[in-house]
Amino acid sequence: MPGTICAIATPPGVGGVAVVRVSGPEAFAIAARVFVPLHRKKSVLDARGYTALFGHYRLDGRPMDETVALFFRAPHSYTGEDVVELSVHGGTAMADGLIEALLTAGAVPAAPGEFTRRALENGRIGLVEAEAVMAAISAEGRQGAALAGAALDGRLGGRIAAIRDALQAVAAHLAAWVDYPEEDVPALAPDALKQTLGQQKKKLDALIEESRAGAVLRHGVDCVLTGRPNVGKSTLLNLLAGFDRAIVTPVAGTTRDVLEQAVVLQPAGIRLNVFDTAGLRAETDDAIEAEGVRRGREKFAQAGLVLAVFDAGAPLEAEDLALAQSCAGRAALAVLNKRDLVGSAAELAEKTNALTPYFAKVLPLCALEDTALPALSAAVAALLGTARLDPGAAVLCSRRQLAAALAARDALGEALAAAEGGFGLDAVAVCLADAQRALADLTGEDAPAATIDAVFRDFCVGK
């Protein structure tokens, strides 16, 4: 029988309220030894689920803090077990005292994520939802939290189950056809087979594609601002940050080091960790600036988004073209800044055309104008795929899920290739079985203990 666990569920530090959670078969008995209701006639042991009592808790026989107790009866609780949640005054002292009292009364400390793990073991949630709990806790920004919410309430599980069920139906038919030829099972029409496999593969493609945009919304993305000195990088950084973060001067080479600034790009709601790098000049006599250039290059190589800035008011130089070429194949946006200084439309078109082959988009802009920020936001959202993401979409919320989805998609691709290449239905069936296994990994059905351990390793105590 599992023990009765307890842990502080709220973050450490000063705050109005701290919540301590107790879950397990002895939750009510242990709470009754620690918590004293204000109305002496009320009894913790008799408390019904979804009710609350006010009173105080005791430690070593002494009355301690005022306490609100919330009761949940199995199986109608987060963990599926009997649960008592005790709220005391915030800060750590009162909650620590309460934990001590509960441990003395027979509870054991909860391991990280143990409440959620019990919910999983008791069938309250699946592995996909357990991971969504973690994603919801660690989400950066409201949109990231909304995405985690869609996974949390089972919508993601539903999307995956729909693919799994469609594949199961095909697999069952194939198995009957291959195993019992004498039973006269009608063969699947090749076109119908290819169509079903193709449709399900498309659904997996969409899940994979959206998961990348979802990760951007949940965790943000490292973004490098790069370009020759004086093209307007620092001006753009200040625009993104909403205040003067970098020193802007008309002297080339002002930005001497890599400046980092976390901003939330509005209205797209994407968190960018912006690194404003020193200009890309290779030659400089200044040792500090040379170090800045080196660090800038390193950041450039690692960034998930590159904003390469060019001066629309001056001729494109060899250095500009070298930068453009190094952006090919990256998630990179060319910002053709100082649009206000361009001589003619033809000149702007010429510069745009010269940069277009290397970038997902070339955005002419004047960083000094109010329209610059929304234009930049829209271009970044389109580039990172968040613009196409439905805010209520249920997207994959962990690397483990993505890896399983990729494996399922690839196996399904092979099944489709086998069907199209006329390799025979047993070859299709083998690939299909691989895809089904990968999908089972994705949902976590029959997941081995090691997989579950790995999921809960990153959880915090109290969740």
Q: Which residues bind ligand GDP (CB under 6 A)?
A: 227, 229-235, 248-250, 254-255, 337-338, 340-341, 366-368
Strands (E), 318-377: 332-337, 361-364
CA dihedral 86, 90, 95, 97 (to 10 degrees): -120
Q: Which residue has the tokens 């005054």?
A: 89
How far apart (Å, rounded) are the C-alpha atoms in residues 142 and 146?
A: 6
Q: Which is nearer to ligand GDP, 55 or 296 (CB)?
A: 296
At its nearest, how many Å lie between ligand GDP and the CB of residue 12? 40
SS3 of 335, please?
Answer: strand
How many helices (DSSP H) and strands (DSSP E) are in the chain?
15, 13
Q: Which two tokens stand for residue 180?
A: 């019992």
The letter for the amino acid at 273 is N
How far apart (Å, rounded) are the C-alpha atoms in residues 201 and 344?
A: 48
How far apart (Å, rounded) are the C-alpha atoms in residues 314 and 162?
A: 55
The letter for the amino acid at 450 is A
Q: 393, 363 in Cβ contact below 8 A? A: no
At its nearest, how many Å lie between ligand GDP and the CB of residue 9? 46
At its nearest, how many Å lie between ligand GDP and the CB of residue 320? 12
At its nearest, how many Å lie between ligand GDP and the CB of residue 246? 6
At its nearest, how many Å lie between ligand GDP and the CB of residue 326? 17
Cα of 143 vs its chain's centroid, Å: 10
Helices (H), 141-225: 142-152, 155-179, 190-219
At its nearest, how many Å lie between ligand GDP and the CB of residue 380? 18
Q: Which is nearer to ligand GDP, 130 or 265 (CB)?
A: 265
Q: Which is nearer to ligand GDP, 44 or 376 (CB)?
A: 376
Q: CA 372, 374, 376: angle at the middle one, nearest 5?
A: 65
Q: What sign has the CA pseudo-torsion 292, 293, 298, 299?
A: positive
Q: Which is nearer to ligand GDP, 251 or 287 (CB)?
A: 251
At its nearest, how many Å lie between ligand GDP and the CB of residue 322? 16
At its nearest, how many Å lie between ligand GDP and the CB of residue 232? 3
At its nearest, how many Å lie between ligand GDP and the CB of residue 275? 13
At its nearest, how many Å lie between ligand GDP and the CB of residue 404? 43
SS3 of 108, please?
Answer: strand
Q: Which is nearer to ligand GDP, 302 or 371 (CB)?
A: 371
Helical packing angle, 190-219 and 142-152, nearest 10°: 140
How far apart (Å, rounded) are the C-alpha atoms in residues 415 and 392?
A: 31
Q: Which two tokens stand for residue 61?
A: 């026989």
Q: Which is nearer to ligand GDP, 99 or 366 (CB)?
A: 366
How far apart (Å, rounded) are the C-alpha atoms in residues 148 and 139?
A: 8
The number of beta carbons lying within 10 Å of the beta carbon of residue 461 is 14
At its nearest, how many Å lie between ligand GDP and the CB of residue 451? 47
Q: 286, 317 in Cβ contact below 8 A? A: no
Polymer length in residues for the chain: 463
The letter for the amino acid at 19 is V
Q: Which is nearer to ligand GDP, 214 or 229 (CB)?
A: 229
Q: Which is nearer to ligand GDP, 251 or 301 (CB)?
A: 251
Q: Which is nearer to ligand GDP, 59 or 342 (CB)?
A: 342
Q: Which is nearer to ligand GDP, 298 or 340 (CB)?
A: 340
Q: 65, 57 in Cβ contact below 8 A? A: yes
Q: Which is nearer to ligand GDP, 255 or 401 (CB)?
A: 255
